[in-house]
Structure 1
Amino acid sequence: MVEPWDTRAPKVVTLPSGRRIRGRGLRYELPEGQRPTFGVQLTEHEPAGVPWDSVWIPWRDFWLPADPVDAMGKLRAAYDRAVEERVEICCGGGVGRTGTALSALCVFEGMRPRDAVRWVRRTYHPRAVEVPWQRRFIRQVFDAGTAGSRRP
């Protein structure tokens, strides 16, 4: 187990379960201090490599993941790894796609989709989850988890 994220660090949120996740915009400099041990990159084009373990979810700005089921699986893996690792979720600006992904993690925590969006907007960024179809994706995550047959 690694030292968890410092809760005073910018854009680090602590989920109700105690997992700490950092959101970040790739257009900005990497913050000083702790580095992630696992990252999820939400971008249209495959990003350059980083010196920590990471996965790429193909996801256009203001849209949805190219493969929602694959995205749910990768986000679930990030959620699971956040118990013992410093997980970072990032997109271009660090708001819409990142906020949507953080909301999906809140659904894994047991929140209903609407509550997850509210929580992320309150604790991470007030404009997180920017478009209606991103809210629809969060409902898909919820439905996949509650259906019982396909837990993301």
Structure 2
Amino acid sequence: MGKEVKTNAMRILDKNKISYEIINYECDEFIDGLHTAEKTGAPVEQSFKTLVMQGKSKQYYVFVVPIAEEVDLKTAAKAVSEKSVEMIHVKDITAITGYVRGGCTPLGMKKQFPTVVHESAASFSKIYISGGRIGTTIIVNPDELLSVVRGQYADIIMH
């Protein structure tokens, strides 16, 4: 087997001396987080998806939420002091983040956008997030992830 091809996300964790694990899985196209967790055996409640939204101010934001949950746009907007936020178009993901749909991770986007991680992540010693490409999952400590992306915890899901 060849050497692991590192993604930007992995290089950033390495640079910050943050330990992580990698799960690679066979996948040729976008599948949602629930199917990814099923494939990798990752616990659903510890698996998080990365969503990129744009605020009324035109600023981009990153929201990291449990894969089985939906973002509450009102509380998400409030968490980043915006009047409103909305999802960016799928066709714009790569241009804005440098990642493809299904491989989007809060680590190592083209720019460091303000990042909010759902507060449930704080109750786990490790969470599962995209590794920066389809077919790769990174397991990382949520507090360490937060420190690298200079993010914050908030309750941003629908109840």
TM-score by length of 1: 0.29
Q: Give the structure with higher Rg (CA).
A: 2
TM-score by length of 2: 0.29
Higher-strand-fraction structure:
2
Structure 1 or 2: larger helix share?
Answer: 1
